Chain A
Amino acid sequence: MPLQPHRPPSRSAGPLLQLDRVCRVYPKAGVSAIADVSLSVWSGEFVAIAGPSGSGKSTLLHVLCGLDRPTRGQVLFEGHAPSSREQWTRLRAERIGFVFQRFHLLPKLTAVENVEIPMFGVTRSPRMRRERALWLLERVGLAQHADRLPGALSGGECQRVAIARSLANAPSVILADEPTGNLDSGASAAVLDLLTDIQRREGASLIIASHDAGVTSRADRVVRLLDGRIVPPALTGEAPPVTGALEP
């Protein structure tokens, strides 16, 4: 039950996700979480968003998947700007997978039921949902724990269930917000191996927000954020991105 055929990073069809001069201001707190950020992510690409705590990494991911709306600028998915909350919800259901630092599994549902959750409204048959969820758990090495509640799993296992959940509807892009932030070094390496393996095998784009050097060292490209703004590659000493018309 493969998700998608393997696709190398492709730049022929245009960016999968684009941020065009995006700002997100929280007026009540008087905080500008991200400011004037432009970024392009291509199909099959692994991008690491690096930066210290409070630099705007999480906000950037939330804006990229429509969980948060920009105060200014626009977000394009495959060249189109979703105009409503409903359109973003549909994209998150069908095209975008999300992995959270704190897993965010539903505590009263078993591992396999948690993986089934995103498939409601996409896969009609309960039997097919169950089969696919079990296959995904097997894929992340947790088939034997399918009927366990999250409370009975370790942090690393919970994160693997969350990764399986993010893959439920064969997304085109997986966003991961500090996926190793709550894990010990052994579990962190395993989760990172799993994510990069999936990215390579399934051809999905992978965007990880992290300040973990293990993440940035494996990424195709690293985007550094500081105080909500992208730090130009020249200032970080890293190689510039291969392309990206909207990037600074």
Chain B
Amino acid sequence: MRFWTLVIRNLARRPLRSSLTAAGIAVALASFIALVGLSRGLERAWTGALHERDTHIFAVRKQSAQLLSGTIDERVAERVARLPGVSRVSGELFDIIELDTGETVLVIGWQRSSYLWDTLRLISGRLPAGEDVKETVMGNQIAEALNKHVGDTVLFNEAPFTVVGICASAGVMTGRAIMVPLKSLQTIQEKQGRVTVLHIRVERPDDHIAAAAVLDGLTRAFPDLGFSLSDEVADQNFFVRTGRAMSWGTSAIALLMALLMILNTLLMSVIERRHEIGVLTAVGWRARRILAMVVCEGLTLAGAGNLLGTGLGIVAMRWLTLVPQIRGFVEPQVTVRMVVEIALVTLVLGTVGSAYPAWRAIREDPVESLRDE
């Protein structure tokens, strides 16, 4: 008989209780995977979209709690472009709207002369013909979801837009977005002359010192705007930060409950096995071996929960991305970092959850324990 055989045998003596505890841990870990995965998916979608557009610096209205409510005068773009070190600037108006199909999509408006149109990879059709036309280029993912092709019409804010092109993108922000000329979007949104953000390219993006100097110059020249490097934009985005805080907060509560479940199960198990632990002490089992046995029981429970929870978490994450209000804004995926984090969380759950029961087990008086049959 191996040491682990004894550990498994101890857990198997109350199969229902052990299974329910493992299931509880699995649900907690699945919540962690799904919620943190979604939060990271949101970050990934934002940074991915900026990289796709080769944006180096991103500007928003300062002190605006919500990105969408803050607007910038579109003429600011010209002033920004004149600053030393800045290569190109483009304003962008965007909004999240619900189509008549019930689909929630991102609508993006760029000046027809903006270089950002050139970042789209057209797979069919063409770009809009002018500045104030009701024409749109759809991302391939949303076009596929809505079964729209070049020549079809899509209705938003009761305005019909003709699909003139379909562009391909692996990222959800572009793949599930609708791009329209800025003026036509400003008209239907009644935001004439306004943009939501500025995309800024610098002359020497690989020179971090030069990029930082441009950022510093922008910050001083436009104190009412908030500038951030594209790699850091996710950290400063309201949606991303709120999503991150909510997902970690909810996960922490779920994990705490899992910890209490392990503690409760093992404590009951140790109390029930008081006599047996006394026998082990009597036949010469050292305290650290008994401690290891109880901790290994905790780790086994947490490990079983991990296996079940990881599968459940991936399914939950995929399911959540099918919710119309969420899909198109997140790119969930299980990364190596997440696998390592889950392994560490499992290790901490198993060890911390079993620490007190293990301590209780080894401090028992063996003579008293032997009487307790």
Interface residues of A (CB under 8 A from B): 62, 67-68, 85-86, 89-94, 96, 98, 100, 102, 104-106, 108-109, 113, 116-118, 120-122, 126, 129-130, 165, 168-169
Contact = CB atoms under 8 A, between A and B. Distances in A.
Contacts of B286: 86, 89-90, 93, 121
Contact of B285 (A68, A93, A105): A93
Contact of B282 (A92, A122, A126, A129): A92
A93 B367 contact: no
Ordered nearest first, which 5 A-B pairs have the shortest CB separation?
A93-B284, A92-B284, A118-B283, A104-B279, A113-B1
Interface residues of B, number: 24
Given A102-B373, A104-B279, A109-B9, A121 B285 contact: yes
Main DSSP-derived SS at the B contact region: helix
Interface in B260-314: 275-276, 278-287, 289
A90 B276 CA distance: 18
Contacts of B13: 108
Given A68-B367, A109-B6, A169-B284, 9 more contacts: A85-B287, A92-B282, A93-B283, A98-B283, A104-B275, A106-B279, A108-B13, A117-B285, A121-B286
Contacts, number: 70
Contacts of A86: 286-287
A85 B9 CA distance: 28
B2 interface: yes
26 contacts: A62-B367, A67-B281, A67-B370, A68-B367, A86-B286, A89-B285, A92-B282, A93-B283, A93-B284, A93-B286, A94-B284, A104-B278, A104-B373, A106-B279, A108-B9, A109-B1, A109-B9, A117-B280, A117-B283, A117-B285, A118-B284, A120-B285, A120-B289, A121-B289, A130-B1, A169-B284
Contacts of A93: 283-286
B2 A89 contact: no
Contacts of B10: 108
Contact of A67 (B276, B285, B287, B366): B366
Contacts of A89: 281, 284-287
B284 A116 contact: no
A113 B283 CA distance: 13
Contacts of B1: 109, 113, 116, 126, 129-130
B371 to A, nearest CB: 10
Interface of B: 1-3, 6, 9-10, 13, 275-276, 278-287, 289, 366-367, 370, 373
Contacts of B6: 109
A190 B6 CA distance: 31
Given A109-B9, A129-B1, A100 B370 contact: yes
B370 A104 contact: yes
A161 to B, nearest CB: 12
A1 B276 CA distance: 29
Contacts of A168: 283
B280 A104 contact: no
Contacts of A104: 275, 278-279, 282, 370, 373
A100 B367 CA distance: 12
Nearest to B278: A104
Contacts of B285: 89, 93, 117-118, 120-121
A96 B289 CA distance: 19
Contacts of B283: 92-93, 98, 117-118, 165, 168
Nearest to A121: B289
A157 to B, nearest CB: 18
Tell me which of B9, B282, B373 has the highest count of chain A C-beta atoms within 10 A of its own C-beta.
B282
A131 to B, nearest CB: 12
A117 B284 CA distance: 9
Residue from B287, B289, B366 whose CB has the most chain A CB atoms within 10 Å:
B366
Contacts of A105: 279
